[in-house]
A and B are shown apart, each in its own frame.
Chain A
Amino acid sequence: MSDKVKFKIDGKECEADQGLNLVEAAKQNGIYIPTLCHLEGVKAAGSCRICNVKINGRFMTACTTPVSDGMEVENSTEDIKELRKIIVETLFVSGNHYCPACEKSGSCELQALGYRFTMLVPRFPYAFEPKEVDAKSTKLYIDRNRCVLCKRCVRSIKTKDGKSIFAVKGRGHNAMINIDHELAAQMTDEEATAAMDTCPVGSILKKERGYFTPIGRRKYDKKPIGSDIEESVTI
């Protein structure tokens, strides 16, 4: 049996299992901490930095921080909101995000964060850096224009014997997701679909699939990302 701990988020009394990461712990208490690279059940990357919160006065990423007793967390101060918005805008300008032409539009988590933060225009100049599209795999294609390097695919998609299908290549702003074509070719259709669903944006796409859901019925058409958490207080 795991121990419960009490902590506060923006003054609200919360309770969760000790050691649970703060994103999930907040979720159990009906509080949404915005994330992008986080994927429940997969080792935290802490790379998008969007879940930055202030814990006992220090900025930390919620996805990498286990909750502990007496924690005082700030999640919605103006400076935190501003930081998150800046990160989202950074991601928009550093990639080539043509939302109107994207298969994932309406169900894209990056776009949804843009909506949630009412981003009308990123404050930064667009990079328009050329990025490669890799369509060599039989089942998937990788559009690096849309990639936010969350590494969800790297962390969660492996072959049955544990080998990586995706990995990062290069470093800094030249870093990109690399795919092992031979291993990817052995993926089942279900695995390929799962890979597409793992990607928060439209960077990993299953071939011959796209624009399945009509506008108006997509994931984030009507309600902001995180609203399901905020509407479902469990305790």
Chain B
Amino acid sequence: MSSNIQSIVEKYGKNETRLMDILHDVHCENGFVSDEEIKEIALLLNISKVDVEQTLTFYHFFSKNPRGKYTVYLNNSLVAKMMGRDEIAHTFEKATGTKFGTVSDDGLFGLYDTSCIGMNDQEPAAIINGIVFPKITTYRVKELVKSFRMGSSVQDMINSFGGGQNQSELIHAMVTNNLNRRGAVIFSDYTPGEGLEKLKSMSPEDVIAEVKNSNIRGRGGAGFPTGLKWDFCSKSPGDEKFVLCNADEGEPGTFKDRVILTERPSLMFEGMIIAGYAIGAKQGILYLRKEYEYLKNHLEFVLNEFREKGFLGKSILGIDGFDYDIRIQFGAGAYVCGEESALIESCEGKRGEPRNRPPFPVQVGYLNQPTIINNVESLSSVTKIISNGSVWFKSMGTKESSGTKLLSISGDLKYPGTFEVEWGMSINEMLEMAGASDVKAVQVGGPSGRLIAPNEFHRTICYEDLPTGGAMIVIGEGRSILETVMNFMDFFIDESCGSCAPCRYLTVILRNKLKKIIDGKGVSKDLEEIVHWGKQMKIANRCGLGQSAANPILTSIENFRGEYEAKIEKGKDYDTEFDLNSAIIESSRAVGRFPEA
């Protein structure tokens, strides 16, 4: 038995609900978790080996096999592709002599695709051994590979610092904020503790009432009223209650939470403390996506500062009985963990599979206790609501959408980045603000949202009209809608947890059908079928991921039918992708019928 594994498992109290942390730590040692280590972990936790393996194999950044001394995760999301990701990938392959999805023979390089890493404003971007390399060029790829071959560490290759906190000693990242517009709530002037100070004169009920009165709705995308969620949770019976902050930010095209985590972590943590006070929780957990691990020291530092200031710990702010602390829980690469009940499962050391509802997390959540899960931006807003009052908050935005919204705008435009705007801005205004022209389409809310055409650009960003979690992907004239949709479908296939049968495979069927159409083998019946099958996804699946996995197809057919019809074969009622010549290539070669080329 390796003493190292033993100490890691003991560090987490031999608690199987901390399996994610255990795997995370073991993984950090070697870059993978071996069969032998799986066995040891299982033995120490007194669970079965397959239970350890089921968690391990769920997450993209966990591996059972070595992934190279230098492990490159290159974003393959839509905007990365738009910004030239394929050329970067090709250069990596050529320079390292290995293909994506594999490790080079000498064990030096491992190349892997990965879903959106929250850097859409600085693509193409890769994560190499945890360090983010934004705006990567072919020159840079060659330089990196050459240096790594000569033994440079990944740290050595940091050759610039992004602005703001990115250049602080605790982060030291090349990532830039691209905070292109500050607003009145999140990126306004702020003194840590200003929200907490108010708690001294407010009861938990007062806090909930204030949040309710502000009409704030969840900023992650679903838009559930935050105050109501807290109210439900506060009234749910339970031995203990929990506050989870969702910093999984996995929707391709969104990166605004990254900027909050970098520039305003105190604002968010304060929101978590306020939430804890309101519902009577003792513990808060920040569920942080692995892609943002480079922010770990920075965030831990802020938490320690909070502890020193008495914002965390026992009797916070001298309020008797208000004991509360926050820990960071890392994810390990799974979009679906942004779904709140999947996030809970992940926090409990399990596969990130969404739970069945009822019961709801406010009733039965983390460790089966009443739990609230709020988005980073929601919690950050709450601090300001408590600090400045709900009336102030409501004075911004529209009737049903109070306050401001952070938009992550990327794609074909001059100024990709994060913009804090009041709810109610039209898409036209947004495009003008961010310097976009000749726009063919905007993907509102990322792949799970809607693909809209210029005839909808007059619509406004708010819950009453176009609700969004903030991801705005601008697609310029000249881009193919069908290829865009294809990228999104591949994303949903990769990120399906695999629990619901329709999400597990109907996604693949839809993708293949789309490919048939792109390949010019589609007939009009294919178009009818793809819509009919896509609609089933909406009603059949358990969680938002599955329900929206056909959205790219459905909304693009709705708004860009012409692009599909242009590919459809006229006057045919049947076609197939079967091609005799390609079907006989393999066996011709095997028997030597055609000389090898």
Contact = CB atoms under 8 A, between A and B. Distances in A.
Direct contact of A and B (CB under 8 A): yes
B343 to A, nearest CB: 15
A26 interface: no
A172 interface: yes
B498 A164 contact: no
B54 A167 contact: yes
B244 to A, nearest CB: 21
Given A169-B54, A171-B351, A163 B48 contact: yes
B50 interface: yes
A119 interface: no
A164 B55 CA distance: 13
A125 B51 CA distance: 34
A83 B51 CA distance: 33
B392 interface: no
Contacts of B440: none
Contacts of A87: 501-502, 536, 540
Interface string B384-423: 0000000000000000000000000000000000000000
A166 B50 contact: yes
A23 interface: no
A173 B502 contact: no
B542 A49 contact: yes
Interface stretch (B69-77, B195-203, B217-225, B505-513): B505-513
A49 B498 contact: no
A61 B48 contact: no
Interface in A24-78: 44-50, 52, 59, 61, 64-66
B498 A64 contact: no
B541 interface: yes
B443 to A, nearest CB: 22
B539 A173 contact: no
Nearest to B539: A59
Interface in B472-509: 493-502, 504-509
B506 A165 contact: no
Interface string B44-59: 0001111101100110
B2 interface: no
B121 to A, nearest CB: 28
B499 A47 contact: yes
Given A86-B506, A168-B54, A173 B47 contact: no
Contact of A171 (B334, B508, B512): B334
A94 B505 contact: yes
A191 to B, nearest CB: 15
Contacts of A175: 497-498, 504
Contact of B500 (A47, A83, A86, A180): A47
Interface string B532-571: 0100100111100000000000000000000000000000
Interface size class of A (residues with CB under 8 A): 35 or more
Contacts of B57: 169-171
B595 interface: no
A66 B358 contact: yes
A168 B356 contact: no
A160 to B, nearest CB: 13
Interface residues of B, number: 38
A72 B62 CA distance: 45
A179 interface: yes
A199 interface: no
Nearest to A47: B499
Given A86-B506, A125-B512, A174 B51 contact: no
A172 B536 contact: no
A183 interface: yes
Given A87-B540, A172-B493, A180 B505 contact: no
B356 A167 contact: no
Contacts of A180: 48-50
A178 B504 contact: no
Given A87-B502, A172-B495, A167 B542 contact: no
A221 to B, nearest CB: 26
Contacts of A44: 356
A128 interface: no
Given A124-B509, A127-B508, A172 B496 contact: yes
B540 A83 contact: yes
Interface of A: 44-50, 52, 59, 61, 64-66, 82-83, 86-87, 90-91, 93-94, 123-125, 127, 148-149, 159, 163-175, 178-180, 182-183
16 contacts: A47-B500, A59-B539, A61-B542, A64-B357, A82-B536, A86-B536, A87-B540, A149-B499, A164-B47, A164-B51, A172-B495, A172-B498, A172-B504, A173-B498, A178-B54, A182-B49
Given A47-B499, A59-B539, 15 more contacts: A48-B501, A49-B501, A86-B506, A87-B536, A90-B506, A91-B505, A93-B505, A94-B505, A149-B498, A169-B50, A169-B53, A169-B57, A170-B498, A171-B351, A172-B504
The 8 closest A-B pairs by CB, nearest first: A175-B498, A167-B50, A64-B356, A94-B505, A167-B54, A163-B48, A172-B496, A46-B356
